[in-house]
Amino acid sequence: MTFMPPDYVFAMTALTHALPSVPSAPTIAGLPATVFGNVVSGVVGSVITLFGVLLSNWHNRRLKRDELGHAAAQRDREREMALRRDVFLPAVEAGLVMQSSIGAVTNLEMSVATVVERFQASNATFAKVAVVGAQETVTACQQLSAGLGGAFTDLSLQRGTLQQYQNRLAELDRYIAIHEGLRDSWIKVQQDLVAKGEKNAEIWTAARGHFTQHVSEINKALTERGNVIQSRDLKQLEVHEMLAKQLELLSPLFPPALFAMRRELQLPLDEQSFLERHMDLRAQQLAVFKDALGKARAGLAQAAQGQTAAK
């Protein structure tokens, strides 16, 4: 007996053969192309993301390093500027103190030890500029310091001569005081003789002779004292004229040192205008000083003429 498939089987078979066949999907490296594409896209995306992260981290590290470097440079600059302020500002004051010490060294009423100590302390402060200053600043300050030191030395030598006059006056004052005391004692002796009625010719003559001798010594000492005072005043005038000349020579040395320090401190300053004001003010001060010296010299000359006429 022969088995015959039903008709629907033949119909389904015909329909199956009539449908288009589905081609097989291509493969790459043993993987379907779509799967391989997804894998490659994921890897490329990860690589790009990793590169971006690395680049971002490198950029952030560089910005942080630059920021830290800038902060460190700013701190160094602030420390440097603070150090310069601590050196330059006292140096300016020290220069002025050194200049005033030049005038004070000729004043016999001031202790020479005090004046020298002030000058040396200020000079030591001024010398610190060499530690932090630029070469231009150091050179300008050294020139000013050398000028101030030379003027101080010259006037210190002149003070020695003035001190000799002063010492001689002190000796004469003591000498006069001694003879005045002896003179007064002999006056008392004469008064006692008169009071007692013992005005003996021999005793009176001896007392009178001692009295006359002491008066004569006093007059000689007073005459010498007047000559010493005249010589001292004349020498004092010469020293003051030397001081005026030294100040005139020092005047051009101050602005370069001051300008150099101000530039390092980065302080605004119209140097030309300041220089003109400085020179004008110094010229006025020196003119007043020289005028006073001229009047003093004229007064000494007139006094000398009066003494000559009296003799």
pLDDT of residue 177: 94
Distance of alpha carbon 90 from alpha carbon 132, whole angstroms: 13
* CB 129 within 8 Å of CB 261: yes
What is the model's pTM? 0.65
Distance of alpha carbon 196 from alpha carbon 190, whole angstroms: 10
pLDDT of residue 222: 93
pLDDT of residue 1: 47
Burial class of residue 267 in the structure, from the number of CB atoms within 10 Å of its CB (0-12 exposed, 13-18 middle, 19+ buried): exposed
Q: Which residues of the chain have pLDDT under 50?
A: 1, 19, 21-22
For CA atoms 273, 276, 278, 284, the dihedral sign is negative
Task: Give me the half-sphere count of Cα atoms (radius 13 Å) on the Cβ side of residue 140.
Answer: 23
- Print burial letters for 30-46: b (CB count within 10 Å at least 16), e (below 16): eeeeeeeeeeeeeeeee
* CB 255 within 8 Å of CB 274: yes
- Paired residues of 28 in beta bridges: 31
Cα distances from 105 to residues 42, 94, 100, 124, 186, in angstroms, run 92, 16, 9, 18, 44
DSSP code at position 252: G
pLDDT of residue 165: 92
pLDDT of residue 27: 58
DSSP code at position 199: -
Those residues with Cβ within 8 angstroms of residue 10's Cβ, 6 or more apart along the chain or in another chain: none
pLDDT of residue 19: 47
CATH architecture of the domain with range 59-260: Up-down Bundle (1.20)
Q: Domain locations in the chain?
A: 59-260
Q: Quick one: which of 176, 267, 259 has its CA closest to 217?
A: 176
pLDDT of residue 22: 47
DSSP code at position 182: H
Those residues with Cβ within 8 angstroms of residue 235's Cβ, 6 or more apart along the chain or in another chain: 158, 161, 162, 165
Cβ neighbours, 10 Å, residue 256: 18
* CB 200 within 8 Å of CB 256: no
pLDDT of residue 38: 62
Cα distances from 54 to residues 47, 48, 51, 63, 184, in angstroms, run 10, 10, 5, 14, 112
Question: Tens digit of pLDDT for each residue in 145-191?
Answer: 999 999 999 999 888 888 999 999 999 999 999 999 998 888 888 78
